[in-house]
Structure 1
Amino acid sequence: MWMKWARPDRELPPGGFAPVMATGIVSQAVGSAGARWLSDGLLAVAVAMYGLLLAAWARRVTRHRHDVAAELRDPATVFGFFTFVAGSDVLATRLAAGPWWPAAATLLAVALPVWPALMWCAGRVVRGLGPAGALRRVEGGWFLCVVGLQSVVLAAGALEPHRALAAKTAGWALGVVLYVVVATGVAGRLLRFGVRPRELTPPYWVTMGACAISLLAGARLVAQGLGTSPLRVPVEGFLLVMWGWATCLLPVLVAAGVWRHGVHRVPLSYEPTWWTIVFPLGMYSVSTAAVGAAEGPYGLVAVGHVMAWAASVAWALVSFGAWAGRRSGQKKWSRNGKVPRPAPSGR
């Protein structure tokens, strides 16, 4: 339902695993807020979506590998493939506790080698654009490379919380550096070229989502042993700065949506990129609660729980939009006998 998985293989969007990311993190958020029944239900939905999408993508890679290769060379689509890494690792993190540990370990083992392979593809694309071309093309979806890396750190920490701390810390630090690099590029593009209302698409919310997942990964590392090292004080201070940055981004992104749809009347209709709004909200909820628990500002735990319900409402709205969009697409198909072309997909 959510990603129209029955559409022809060739039309699957590169960012197709974004619903898994969003559903998995909202499951974690409402679970930490005390709604175990809702958390377990959303987990079941995320697992089902992951299985359907994995089967559909296996068919697509087999039947249309030239199309997939072309998307891996396109700056508008290559970063969307990182949703596979993030979706796999968000599920792995959620399943790591209890009897599902082997399944979580398998998900991490599948996703781990994919991230460097995708980074090689993305790096090759960016080098091909050159500095000027990259500055013109960089946008919010590029932050998905950061989300993918930090999701690996989170999954590894959930599976082996007391091992390989140095490697996990190095991965987290690399993710923070990547965030700064992409953020600098996005800021440079906005300052130099501006952005038109139709270009201010939902993937810009990943700016906040990438910061929030970096914040969560850092907070988990502090709890797993980094807090006993000489780096504890600067890391904890840096995490509070990151939380402040993510919090400042939230009203900015909401205002950007009002400017796009309210002021400039860009039609508000469902598109798969809406899931890139749900994921940052859920990740902000979980990371805020984690920072509050790790560093002592316990009021942040309550803020995180409130945001969990905001993220669940966003998940419900986007799910309804996906369902309504699918029904509309089926009606168009029945009238003209053809499969409707999808709207431009997420990165």
Structure 2
Amino acid sequence: MIDILMKQAKHLFPGSFASVMATGALAVGLNLLGFHGLAPILIAVNTVLYTVLWLMTLIRLFRWPREVRVDVVSHSKGAGFFTLVAGTAVFGSQLLLTGGCIMIAKVLWFTALILWAVIMYTFFTAMTIRKEKPPLEKGFNGTWLLSSVATQSIAVLGTLLSPSVHQHQDILLFTSLSMYFLGSMLYLPLMALIFYRFAFVRFSYGELSPPYWISMGALAITTLAGSSLILHAEYFPLINEITPFLKGFTLFFWITGTWWIPLLVILTIWHYGFHRPPIRYNPQIWSMVFPLAMYTAGTFQFSKALQLPFVSVLSEGMAFLAVGSWIVVFLAMCTAILRSFGKMGDVK
């Protein structure tokens, strides 16, 4: 088992924690909608995913540090490391809401915050000082928006933890509020680059990778973060004072995220329906599951925060798509893992 982990760790995809993000987001969404039956299963699955991926990450970091450095300074791959941050925080939110694990959630919040600081400034410093830089069409893709997703995930978990924190509650909520605005700021310029890439740079079907769904996923988690802050305004006077502004800002992001869905569906049909590339499991496919699950959670909380009960119908409908897509991708992942074990057994 250890030998297999060692071999797989060398080529571990930087964005592999997207599976943890998707599973955690699905659990949070289903919990908010009142479907608690799958909670123990999703906690068990995500605990295994999170533990194994961290083990492989540490193996890769200490056994193959050169490969890690190459990925970190890569324009096309480096942003994938933000899934470590988002996966940790979303997993914390899952354990808090569906498992009542307050202390573990606190530890994961602090862990995510430290990871966020290290990865955020390492990545953007590397992108800035690198001498040779690729053109936009080769170096930039939807994974860059994970910087926004990671930031918002810390805001969400911090806000959810606030009722259980009696000391320094104001600091926790101020940090969450700051992360919310910072994540929003990161989204806007990166989204402008994506629109520019879509409209003015030659775009082949092969370049339409699943991470572009993060365009909607980042907005969904921003909606969840804003809605959660509004619903916890009673715990911090500053949030209470700016609630009208937060409502307008959150409405803006929710509408924009909803607008993205038909366009992404059309582009996905264009990619898979007209060009028919070979369909096989790729860790990046979790980047399509996460937005669906997060939209479920974000829309439900949005309907509560802005007192728009009719909007919750969208979250209920999206929940079925999120569950279906998660099951399909999870089974595909399990099949791919079993095949890799089989190949290694044949080699021996």
The TM-score, its normalising length taken from structure 2, stands at 0.90
SS at match of 1:13: coil
Distance in 2 between residues matched to 1:133 and 1:58, nearest whole Å: 29
Query: Counterpart of 2:170 in structure 1: which amino acid?
Result: R
State whether residues 17 and 83 of structure 1, in contact with CA within 8 Å, keep that contact through their aligned partners in structure 2.
yes
Query: Which residue of structure 2 lines up, in the alignment, with residue 84 of structure 1?
Result: 84
Deviations 1:189-243 (A, max 9, x none): 2222131101100000011101110111011111111796342223212212211
Query: Which residue of structure 2 lines up, in the alignment, with residue 244 of structure 1?
Result: 255
Q: CA separation of 1:76/1:132 partners in 2, compared to 1, >3 Å: closer, same or farther? A: closer
State whether residues 180 and 226 of structure 2, in contact with CA within 8 Å, keep that contact through their aligned partners in structure 1.
yes
SS at match of 1:94: helix
The CA deviation at 1:24 is 0.7
Deviations 1:147-177 (A, max 9, x none): 1111111111112245333332221111101
Distance in 2 between residues matched to 1:290 and 1:198, nearest whole Å: 35
The CA deviation at 1:22 is 0.6
Q: CA separation of 1:11/1:211 partners in 2, compared to 1, >3 Å: closer, same or farther? A: same
Query: Which residue of structure 1 lines up, in the alignment, with residue 166 of structure 2?
Result: none
Query: Counterpart of 1:168 in structure 2: which amino acid?
Result: S
The CA deviation at 1:129 is 5.9
Query: Which residue of structure 2 lines up, in the alignment, with residue 341 of structure 1?
Result: none
Query: Which residue of structure 2 lines up, in the alignment, with residue 126 of structure 1?
Result: 127
1:292 aligns with 2:300: no
- Give structure 1 stretches of 5+ with no counterpart: 339-347
1:145 aligns with 2:143: no
Query: Counterpart of 1:26 in structure 2: which amino acid?
Result: L
Distance in 1 between residues matched to 2:194 and 2:314, nearest whole Å: 29
Distance in 2 between residues matched to 1:6 and 1:130, nearest whole Å: 33
Q: CA separation of 1:140/1:101 partners in 2, compared to 1, >3 Å: closer, same or farther? A: same
Distance in 2 between residues matched to 1:108 and 1:312, nearest whole Å: 26
The CA deviation at 1:6 is 7.0
Query: Which residue of structure 1 lines up, in the alignment, with residue 110 of structure 2?
Result: 109
- Give structure 2 stretches of 5+ with no counterpart: 164-168
1:93 aligns with 2:93: yes
Which structure features the higher share of helix residues?
A: 2
The TM-score, its normalising length taken from structure 1, stands at 0.90
Q: CA separation of 1:223/1:5 partners in 2, compared to 1, >3 Å: closer, same or farther? A: farther
State whether residues 220 and 294 of structure 2, in contact with CA within 8 Å, keep that contact through their aligned partners in structure 1.
yes
SS at match of 1:163: helix
Distance in 1 between residues matched to 2:212 and 2:344, nearest whole Å: 32
Query: Which residue of structure 2 lines up, in the alignment, with residue 44 of structure 1?
Result: 44
Query: Which residue of structure 1 lines up, in the alignment, with residue 10 of structure 2?
Result: 10
Query: Which residue of structure 2 lines up, in the alignment, with residue 302 of structure 1?
Result: 313
Q: Over aligned residue pairs, what C-alpha RMSD do you find? A: 2.3
Q: How many residues align?
A: 335
- 1:136-285 map, 5 Å: 136=137, 137-161=139-163, 162-164=169-171, 165-225=173-233, 229-285=240-296
SS at match of 1:8: helix
